[in-house]
Amino acid sequence: MSTEFELFDGKSFSDLMKDIYHNSKKKDRQINTLIQELQPLIKNIGDATIIVPLIKEYLDVSVKNDEHLVKLAAVVQRLVNSSTKLSDVGDEYGMTEAEKEQLLIIAENELKEIQKEQAELTKKEID
């Protein structure tokens, strides 16, 4: 599978994989920093019942965002693998038009979910 398969202008499959990796590492650092900053604020059980759900929600949104990126990478990987396996058939990606459409719909839905969850996370950070 070619890691330089271009998904859209300026973004290759290898770039997507790098983004997944770097986003994961960045979120890990952010979450650890957030927890370290919030720990001194927890003085009793009442404080914990307020702060811990906020941390959990942040973690959940982060995990969902990563899941969407991984799903998108899987769709692209399937598309590229089909292209290399069946290229001698004469079809551009070795798939039927219906399969191509289905993959594009899945990819678009995953991108929309990523954007939606990032917007929700940004809104919660502002609030």
pLDDT at 72: 77
Query: Is position 3 within any domain?
Result: no
Residues 45-103 have pLDDT tens digits of 888 888 888 888 877 877 777 787 788 778 877 777 776 665 545 455 556 778 778 88
- Domain total of the chain: 1
- Quick one: which of 65, 71, 39 has its CA closest to 52? 39
Inside any domain, residue 2:
no
**In terms of DSSP H, where are the helices of the chain?**
13-38, 45-85, 97-126
pLDDT at residue 90, as a whole number: 46
pLDDT number for residue 1: 47
Average pLDDT over residues 107-125: 79
Question: 105 and 46 in contact (C-beta within 8 Å)?
Answer: no
* pTM metric for this prediction: 0.47
| Per-residue pLDDT at 85 | 61
Instruction: List the domain range (segments joined by +) for residue 27.
Output: 11-126
Q: Which amino acid is at 46?
A: G
pLDDT (0 to 100) of residue 83: 65
What's the rounded Cα separation, in Å, for the pair 103 and 98?
9
pLDDT digits (tens, 9 = 90+) for 18-52: 887 887 788 888 888 888 888 888 888 888 888 88
Burial of 72 (0-12, 13-18, 19+ CB in 10 A): buried
Structural domain contains residue 1: no
Is residue 6 situated within a structural domain?
Answer: no
